[in-house]
Amino acid sequence: MHTTLMEPKDWARTEFGGADLGDRRRTDRLLRVAASLCRQSHGTLPGSFPDWSELKAAYRLLERANVRYEDILAPHVARVCRECREPGEYLLLEDTTELDFTSHEAARDLGRIGDDGGRGLWLHSTLATRIEGWNERHEPRATVLGLAAQRCWARTTPTIGRGKEKMNKRLARDRESQRWAAATEQIGRPPDGVRWTYVADRESDIYEVFIRCQEHQWDFIVRASQARALSQEDGSVFEVVAVAPVLGRFTLELRSRPKRVIRPNRKGQRRRVRLAHPARTVELEVRACTVELRGPWRPGGWLRPRTVNVEEVREVNPLDGDEPIHWVLLTTWPCQSLDQGLRVVKAYSRRWLIEEYHKCLKTGTRIQDSQLSSSRSIKALLGILAVAAVRLLNRKLLALASPQEPVVSGEVGEEVLAILEAHYGRPSGGWTHQSLLTGVAKLGGFPGRKGDGSPGWLTLWRGWDLLMTMVRGFELAQEQRCG
């Protein structure tokens, strides 16, 4: 079910209508709050609810002890999991991010984030995407269905210094790392005719992840971070794949991505600085082999070996100053030929969608601007905005996947198109997904020239915020004229 272009009221009813909050009146209020936040999310409720009675009702709802984040999110997760059981191929992308509320000193029950100097929440998401097909370059055409699982928590346990806790004691207790691939146990096994593939970055290189995926009949593509030993031969996965036969070469377009470096500030103190890797096209060489991983020791004994395919993707002749691409991927997908190897790396490269989702949640919906008084009420608000971020992400992806598909006025509202036409004129070919996205971004300061690429979330949010203010002014003028 595609909810991206639904009217806010219909979207709210579809995504949250089945929420069990203990009282139907609370669910009805949730639908009204969700529809309002869908139209115009400021992170802070006063910016999204100009009417005092509606604002007060939203506060009352989110601060109730029996209105839980998990219950708000449940209908959306259930819908996505149902859709994932339709015949086809799916990529389930996982990643963790932090929600920073350090400046919100009045909020209660927050936990440690970053280097333990900040306050906030941790968020782990499983984003479900459906592969609609593959092009001639072996790239998957994926559509985002939504969240198949999500977990939010505050890190309140004391910090344990590196090396101060014995391994057997650490492995015997609950650990945050157990979140990786936990969705396999929540969602279960795929039905016949369905293929689920778990995709995650290096932090997910944990032996239990491979066990969970294989026991629940999920495929996986995980970027390796550990020099895992092999059970039948000397050397590690890195050493063995480095001398494996070359399958071939190909080019890949890399999107711009963040880069963190350590630099001293004016006082000579070390601090992390976030820079950006520019987008570029690289030539890559592919090698692959099949190995049997030696099972690590755990309390109770050694885990049994697991057979996986290993694929290395290494940049050929990198330019000076550029960080060369070097991925080693552990997977259950076949990669004996170049075409098979390309499908593995192109599927893994879709992992950027989960990063884009978290960016959309933080910059698009501005969840970190919330001034609610406790982590519980912040999480209740997150239950709505986490789903709204899926809608925002899909709007941007529609402009990339089907840029020339026409937009019907009923999908976004006649007032929206009228305001954009008053500013920029009607596009020669009519309104399309691409021209609509560009028009909204221009209101936010996006130049919209040929070489400017795709607008970022901050620009899109500014444009949409201004557009919704104009729409509200237009509606008030119409009400006064009719009155």
- Looking at the domain assignment, is residue 420 inside a domain? yes
Predicted pLDDT of residue 407:
77
Residue/partner pairs of 355-360 with CB below 8 Å, 24 or more apart: 355/95, 356/393, 356/396, 357/125, 357/127, 357/144, 357/389, 357/390, 357/393, 358/95, 358/97, 358/123, 358/125, 359/457, 360/389, 360/392, 360/393, 360/396, 360/457
Residue 443, phi-psi category: left (phi > 0), alpha (psi -120 to 50), beta (remainder): alpha
Cα-flanking dihedrals φ and ψ of residue 234, to 5°? -75, 160
d(CA 468, CA 434): 19
- Rounded average pLDDT over 444-469: 77
8 Å CB contact between 128 and 147: yes
pLDDT classification of 430: cutoffs 50, 70, 90: confident
- Looking at the domain assignment, is residue 407 inside a domain? yes
- Looking at the domain assignment, is residue 411 inside a domain? yes
Q: Exposure string (b/e) for 211-225, b if CB count within 10 Å is 16 or more?
A: bbbbebebbbbbbbe
Which residue has better confidence, 477 or 113?
Answer: 113
Q: Which of 90-104, 153-167, 316-330, 393-407 has the highest mean pLDDT?
A: 90-104
pLDDT tens-digit profile of 391-413? 888 877 877 767 788 876 666 66
Q: CA nearest 361: which of 333, 335, 392?
A: 392
With a CB cutoff of 8 Å and minimum separation 6, the contacts of 248 are: 285, 286, 338, 341
Question: In this predicted structure, which of 72-81, 186-195, 313-322, 474-483 has the lowest mean pLDDT?
Answer: 474-483
Which residue has better confidence, 3 or 314?
Answer: 314
CATH number, position 430: 1.10.740.10
d(CA 23, CA 32): 15
- In this model, does residue 161 exceed pLDDT 70? no
- Rounded average pLDDT over 427-431: 84
d(CA 170, CA 175): 8
Q: Helix, strand or coil for residue 478?
A: helix
**Could you tell me the end-to-end alpha-carbon distance of the chain, in angstroms, rounded to an integer?**
39
- Rounded average pLDDT over 136-162: 87
pLDDT classification of 281: cutoffs 50, 70, 90: confident
Tokens of residue 40, six digits: 């115009």
Q: CA nearest 279: which of 255, 257, 260?
A: 255
d(CA 37, CA 384): 8
Domain range for 457 is 402-476
Q: Helix, strand or coil for residue 238?
A: helix
Instruction: Using alpha carbons, list the distances in angstroms from residue 212 to 33, 70, 188, 402.
Output: 38, 23, 10, 36
d(CA 194, CA 94): 19
If 0-12 CB within 10 Å is exposed, 13-18 middle and 19+ buried, where does residue 235 land?
middle
- H or E segment at 476? helix 457-482
d(CA 463, CA 435): 14
- In this model, does residue 272 exceed pLDDT 60? no
Predicted pLDDT of residue 209:
96
Amino acid at 419: I
What counts of helices (H) and strands (E) characterise the chain?
A: 16, 14
Q: What is the DSSP letter of 363?
A: I
- Looking at the domain assignment, is residue 450 inside a domain? yes
Predicted pLDDT of residue 167:
65
Predicted pLDDT of residue 432:
86
With a CB cutoff of 8 Å and minimum separation 6, the contacts of 78 are: 18
d(CA 216, CA 181): 10
- In this model, does residue 239 exceed pLDDT 70? yes
- In this model, does residue 470 exceed pLDDT 60? yes
Q: Helix, strand or coil for residue 136?
A: coil
8 Å CB contact between 442 and 448: yes
pLDDT tens-digit profile of 333-348? 999 999 999 999 999 9
- Looking at the domain assignment, is residue 419 inside a domain? yes
What is the average pLDDT score of the chain? 86
- Looking at the domain assignment, is residue 448 inside a domain? yes
Question: In this predicted structure, which of 240-244, 308-312, 364-368 has the lowest mean pLDDT?
Answer: 364-368
Q: Which of 62-76, 100-114, 315-329, 444-458 has the highest mean pLDDT?
A: 62-76
What is the tally of structural domains in the chain? 1
Question: In this predicted structure, which of 141-145, 370-374, 469-473 has the lowest mean pLDDT?
Answer: 469-473
